[in-house]
Amino acid sequence: MANKRVDCDGHVMEVTNELISFVGEPFKTTGHMNPRRVLPSLDRFHTPRLEERKPGTFDPSVGPEKWLQFLDKTGLESSVLFPTEGLAFGQVAFPPWAIAYARAYNDWLHAKYLKFNSRLKGMALIPLQDVPAAVTELRRAVKELGMVGAMLPSNGLNPHLSAQHFWPVYEEAAKLDCALAVHGGCYGDRGFNSYTVFPATRALGMPVPLAIAATGMIGDGVLDTFPTLRVGFLEGGTSWIPMVIDRLERELEYGGLRIKRKPVDYFKSGKLFCSCEGNEKALAYAIERIGAEPFMFASDFPHEISLDNCMEEIDEIIQRDDLCEEHKTAILGDNARRFYKI
């Protein structure tokens, strides 16, 4: 099992000065770029605060070399990399900068990580602030840079991800047969910024936007219109899935919801995927409801996991007595391989 494990969600620590060097015109010569801040903040809490962190986590020195150490130490075959600061990309208000930054980030990720070792896979940023440009960049990232898909911001965009405004992106992803993943981690605009302590914000700020995105894609017909589209929902656990199914089933029965399948069948379709946390009690119940096929192991390295405790999440899954060996094998690698087609 060990040499077939796949990490569905790791992170790069962006080096802004490096990344800026990939920015093209007109920003290269006429743009005002503050090297300390090129993207909006994730929320009101990413400032000095009282929070206990495990030693070695969120290490800004982690680059491709330490990533390979992590893969070797954990026995992971590969990892799919997402941004850190770029989780706030949906909040960029100026479309030309969104276009320029997405292209620069993708070129930087390709040059620094993907070319370094093929075990490191990339998920692109695409400028959904300009849909035609997003389609073009998705195509370039997949066909020219070898990305396995693109991240969809969990917050910040207007209209909502399920709006027909964004459907050309879903059409292109279906044509390219690549993955799209809604990634939690940006907490503005959902009421969470009104909290006064960060852990409370994070507790709900991760799963709720994923639930909103999945509900919209089902209810607004995205998944019916593009039945081959593969969408993942990352870093919010699994407990939101039974809630979404139950609420949509109620609306199907009493509220006039018009969809082509039962709500549970969308999650059983083999096209929706979700990262899971090794110790979450809800995982066994979610598997009971929809099977193990949607769920994928995510390391979150180097955020919550360091080189010193890198086996923690994997061991939590291996040691569970409420999951069979077949389900553990699927979660630790097979499902992510199907989602990303790697």
How large is the average pLDDT for residues 250-262? 93
Q: Which residue has the higher pLDDT, 249 or 31?
A: 249
Whether residue 188 has pLDDT greater than 80:
no
> CB 115: neighbour CB atoms within 10 A?
13
CA angle 150, 32, 169 (to 5 degrees): 20
Based on its alpha-carbon atoms, the radius of gyration of the chain, rounded to whole angstroms, reads: 19
What are the boundaries of each domain within the chain?
2-340
Q: What is the pLDDT of residue 50?
A: 62
Bridge partners, residue 274, by sequence: 233, 295
**For 14-32, what is each residue's pLDDT tens digit?**
998 899 899 988 887 776 6
pLDDT tens-digit map of 124-183? 999 999 999 999 999 999 999 999 999 999 988 989 999 999 999 999 999 999 999 999
**First vs last C-alpha separation in the chain:** 16
C-beta separation of 8 from 296 below 8 A: yes
What pLDDT does residue 336 have?
98
pLDDT per residue as tens digits for the range 73-132: 999 999 999 999 999 999 999 999 999 999 999 999 999 999 999 999 999 999 999 999
Confirm if 29 and 11 have CB atoms less than 8 A apart.
no
Report, as an integer, the average pLDDT of 273-290: 96
Pick the range with the lowest mean pLDDT from 149-153, 310-314, 337-341.
Answer: 310-314
The residue behind tokens 């990352």 is 234
Query: Residue 292 CA to chain centroid, in angstroms?
Result: 19
Integer Cα distance of 108 and 138 in angstroms: 15
Sheet holding 76-82, edge to edge: 5-11, 76-82, 120-125, 149-153, 179-183, 230-234, 272-276, 295-297
Residues 219-227, mean pLDDT to the nearest whole number: 97
User: Token pair 């910024």 is at which residue?
Assistant: 193
Each residue's pLDDT tens digit, 42-62? 776 666 566 667 788 889 999
46-55, 60-69, 319-328 — which is least confidently predicted?
46-55
- Does residue 1 have a pLDDT over 50? no
Closest CA to 149 of 115, 171, 129, 125: 125
Measure the CA–CA gap between 286 and 290, rounded to whole angstroms. Answer: 6
Instruction: Give the per-residue pLDDT at 258.
Output: 92
Q: How confident is the model at residue 327 (pLDDT cuts 50, 70, 90)?
A: very high
Superfamily of domain 2-340: Metal-dependent hydrolases (3.20.20.140)
Please choose, from the candidates 73, 144, 83, 143, the residue with its C-alpha nearest in 3D space to the C-alpha of residue 113: 83
pLDDT at 185: 84
189: pLDDT strictly greater than 60: yes
Mean pLDDT of 327-336: 97
Full DSSP string of 114-141: ITT-TTEEEEEE--TTSHHHHHHHHHHH
Task: Count the residues in the chain.
Answer: 342
Is pLDDT larger for residue 225 or for residue 156? 225
Average pLDDT score over the chain: 92
| Main-chain dihedrals φ then ψ at residue 244, nearest 5 degrees | -60, -45
The reported pLDDT for the residue numbered 46 is 66
Query: Between 233 and 3, whose confidence is greater?
Result: 233
- 72-to-1, 290, 300, 318 alpha-carbon distances in Å: 14, 32, 16, 18
